Chain A
Amino acid sequence: MNQVRGPQFRAIQSRSMIADQIREALRTGLRAGRFEAGHVFSIATLTAEYEVSRTPVRDALSRLVAEGVLEDDARGQVRVPQLDVGEYENLIRARCVIEGGAVARAAQVITDSQLAHIRTCAETHRAQYDIGAIGEMLEANAAFHFALYEVSANPFLIVTIGSLWTRAGPYTRLLSRLMKTRIAASGLDLYSPHHDEILTALERRDDAAAQSAIQADILAGHDLLSPHLPNLV
């Protein structure tokens, strides 16, 4: 590399690092269901929020568009894609495959201290559910799931699952709203028994049981949400 160009590249590098950080923050927000389908991202708002210039914000958004996580419309506005039952079915199916595989792997290698940590995550999740804190409950749910997947110590598995959760974010948001109204209206107990089943299977190091319990957990959310999704095709 030409010496003269050195400083210029360094400057651009750090700009790209800012863009990467914003992208990660948006990803985390999406995953936690913080953005609604159709939500339009305003460059001005994000620029103010992160106290950066417009360029890294624009970079971060265009990368998420390239990854298929966000989309841009004819006017160049970047937004969260509309919900679509077909996409949702594909996501759920992919989640069952990969998360089922990751948990089966976890059951084979899990240590007692990892198991204790996952049990704590499950208890936090239950506690948030009991007080009706849906947002916190979703975060605790994500923490429980990713604690499980991290047992695999396989970054390829974890990144793959993370990208599915990011794409599923707007669906998660709708699911949480649905749960809120349902619980308020009927006092219905929507708490999934599957987290306990997963823990029991892990205690026994039973990979097949752990796999089917996590798939049942994923499908329970699916069955609740899927009748409420528009069919765009």
Chain B
Amino acid sequence: MAPNPSFKPVKSRQTVQDQVYQQIREALVSGAFEADQSFTISGLSEKFMTSHMPIREALRRLAAENALRISSTGTAVVPPLDSDELRKISETRLILEPACARIAFDRIDEARFEQLRQTSLAHEKTADTGDVGEMLNLNRAFHFGIYEATGNDVLCSQIENLWLRSGAYVRFLSDRMGDLLRTSYRTGFSSHHADMLDAKQSGDKAAFVQAMHDDIQATSTLLLDFLSETKS
């Protein structure tokens, strides 16, 4: 069950463009769109109940961020999946996100820790309910809950750009989640989050950073395996 984007009609005139952009961006990050999926400007205009202009502008911005490609006919396409690209996204994430975790570690106060703990518990539970969309949302909430503790919006927005580029990969993984949850993955998928919480509680910064690293690495390895299987 993949997350389903529910676009809201946009109203306030001044920020129509921003709202459309934000909603499509959000849908891309959350894995609502598949690789190679295409959409037309007129189709999106109907969904958002706006004119073509703000849609075209939003798609152009996303294309400039390499989150979409625009064909010569004006159709937007989600870029295809590519192992080499995924490796490079992961390499970049592995530089930024564990470093962010290191900066965040001492700044996670009790309230934030409690929030992270709740998020982690809810995330674990999605293995029972099979709600993959919710699983992805909670995973994201957990990670950004940590990154935001750095108080560094420059770092956070750079990480978000990488997640934007990972959306179609996330979607690809989520489509296989039903099968995965029948394997040993079911007990392991949230273990790195639990490790992070344990490390924070025992004041072990190195272990906290390592668990963040392992979490990103594990997802990347899993995806690369799937991608090579799909190809062969």
Contacts and interface: CB of A to CB of B under 8 A. Distances in A.
Contacts of B129: none
A9 B60 CA distance: 13
Contact of B73 (A9, A101, A157): A9
A154 B88 contact: yes
B92 A157 contact: yes
A187 interface: no
A154 B18 contact: no
B152 interface: yes
Contacts of B91: 105, 152, 154, 156-157
A98 B152 contact: no
B89 to A, nearest CB: 6
Contact of A156 (B18, B155, B162): B162
A89 B66 CA distance: 28
A20 interface: yes
Interface string A4-45: 011001101100100010010000000000000000000000
A174 interface: no
A68 B158 CA distance: 12
Contacts of B49: none
Contacts of A63: 61, 64
Given A90-B152, A94-B154, A102-B95, A6 B18 contact: no
B95 A94 contact: no
A164 B153 CA distance: 12
Interface string B128-167: 0000000000000000000000001111011001100100
B152 A94 contact: yes
B23 interface: no
A220 to B, nearest CB: 20
Interface stretch (B96-104, B111-119, B187-195): B96-104
Given A93-B103, A154-B91, A156-B165, A66 B61 contact: yes
Contacts of A20: 64
A159 B157 CA distance: 13
A90 B99 contact: no
B154 A98 contact: no
Contacts of A23: 64
Nearest to A96: B99
A208 interface: no
Interface in A123-157: 152, 154-157
Nearest to B90: A156
A151 to B, nearest CB: 13
Nearest to A8: B74
A154 B154 contact: no
A98 B75 contact: no
Contact of A91 (B56, B72, B96, B154): B154
B74 A13 contact: yes
A167 interface: yes
Interface in B66-114: 66, 70, 72-75, 88-89, 91-92, 95-96, 99-100, 103
B21 interface: yes
B40 interface: yes
A98 B61 contact: no
Contact of B74 (A9, A68, A105): A9
A97 interface: yes
Contacts of A74: none
A164 B154 CA distance: 8
A103 B155 CA distance: 18
B95 A98 contact: yes
Nearest to B70: A13
A105 B42 CA distance: 44
A87 interface: yes
Contact of A101 (B18, B70, B96, B152): B96
The 10 closest A-B pairs by CB, nearest first: A101-B95, A9-B74, A90-B154, A156-B92, A97-B99, A1-B73, A90-B152, A154-B88, A94-B154, A94-B155
